[in-house]
């Protein structure tokens, strides 16, 4: 029921980037020969269409702009629950990001550097671990924002969140 509400209340992705990687992973179980993870270099420099048309190799990319290595790790952990690739490619450019750089990016634009990466991941142990990791990097983020796109996208979600938070605090 909650997913149905989200489909109606969620704002469309206007970032210009495709963040449907997990939708493809979840809906096409064991369909990909290659998984590619990492920064935008992974997204823009390898053509899954060309691999398929010329070599009959199926590939999907779980990359995103400036994706930190810890998110690539969790992306792979989640993807391997649904896929059995023959090859996993990592763009390792993010190994050179400092923790301060990652924290600064999150503070500058939390949507692009965190929500964009997590909003289409199913709720579960992996997503919970990712949210905790992000919270360790930037203690100011609100974990509730990651349990529903509605919280991030709509003011009514923020109001609902406040009501739930206050109710939970009043419970014995």
pLDDT digits (tens, 9 = 90+) for 81-111: 999 999 999 988 888 888 888 888 888 887 7
The first and second tokens of residue 168, run together, are 């939970």
Query: Quick one: DSSP state of residue 96?
Result: G
What is the pTM for the complete model shown?
A: 0.74
Q: What is the pLDDT of residue 13?
A: 45
- Confidence band for 165, pLDDT divided at 50, 70 and 90: low
Strands (E) in the chain, as ranges, are 34-38, 59-63, 87-90
pLDDT for 9-66, tens place per residue? 455 444 445 568 888 999 999 999 999 998 888 878 888 899 999 999 999 988 887 8
Quick one: residue 89, left, alpha or beta (phi over 0 = left, psi -120 to 50 = alpha)?
Answer: beta
């Amino acid at each position: 029921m909650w997913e149905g509400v989200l489909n109606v209340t969620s704002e469309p992705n206007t970032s210009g980037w495709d963040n449907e990687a997990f939708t493809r992973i979840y809906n096409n179980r064991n369909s990909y020969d290659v998984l590619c993870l990492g920064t935008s270099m992974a997204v823009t420099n390898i053509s899954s269409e060309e691999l398929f048309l010329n070599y009959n190799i199926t590939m999907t990319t779980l990359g995103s702009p400036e994706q930190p290595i810890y998110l690539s790790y969790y992306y792979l952990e989640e993807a391997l629950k649904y896929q059995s690739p023959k090859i996993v490619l990592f763009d390792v450019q993010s190994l050179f990001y400092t923790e301060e750089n990652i924290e600064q990016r999150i503070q500058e634009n939390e949507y692009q550097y965190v929500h964009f990466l997590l909003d289409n991941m199913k709720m579960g142990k992996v997503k919970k671990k990712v949210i905790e990791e992000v919270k360790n990097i930037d203690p100011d983020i609100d974990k509730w924002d990651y349990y529903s796109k509605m919280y991030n996208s709509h003011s009514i979600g923020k109001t609902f969140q406040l009501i739930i938070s206050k109710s939970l605090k009043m419970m014995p």
